């Protein structure tokens, strides 16, 4: 038996929500979508587990991705500050060698 076509996540979500709401049974969903009941059951378990994980993460603070982005922002902010200081030093050094610039009059 060949592999069934890939079903988009949005469609899987609608199917799982219909099963959870009692609008359709796992067997009916499997028949309609031409997939095994085990597949529908796995989608349901994955959905519920993902929801539980999201709720736990919401209580404990930012997600791993959010933390990575916050760290990157802090690193880039520091680099920007260091670059600004270097530019000031270069300008002061150039003024000392070349005399006052036209813009500083």
What contacts 41, CB < 8 A, 6 or more positions away? Answer: 26
Which tens digits make up the pLDDT trace of 44-56? Answer: 999 999 988 888 8
User: Is there a contact between 36 and 30 (Cβ–Cβ < 8 Å)?
Assistant: yes
**pTM tops 0.85, yes or no:** no
pLDDT at 1 > cutoff 60 = no
Averaged pLDDT for residues 25-54: 93
CATH numeric code, 1-61: 1.10.10
User: Domain ranges in the chain?
Assistant: 1-61, 62-105
pLDDT above 90: residue 9: yes
Integer Cα distance of 85 and 74 in angstroms: 17
HSE at residue 86, side-chain half, CA atoms within 13 A, is: 6
In this predicted model, what pLDDT tens digit does every residue of 58-80 receive, in sequence order? 766 667 888 899 999 999 999 99
């Amino acid at each position: 038996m060949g592999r069934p076509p890939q079903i988009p996540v949005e469609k899987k979500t609608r199917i799982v929500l219909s099963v959870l709401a009692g609008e359709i049974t796992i067997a009916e969903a499997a028949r309609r979508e031409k997939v095994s009941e085990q597949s529908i059951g796995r989608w349901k378990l994955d959905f519920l587990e993902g929801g539980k994980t999201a709720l736990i993460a919401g209580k404990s603070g930012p997600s791993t991705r959010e933390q990575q982005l916050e760290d990157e922002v802090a690193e880039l902010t520091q680099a920007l500050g260091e670059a600004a200081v270097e530019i000031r030093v270069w300008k002061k050094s150039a003024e000392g060698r070349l005399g006052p610039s036209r813009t500083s009059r």
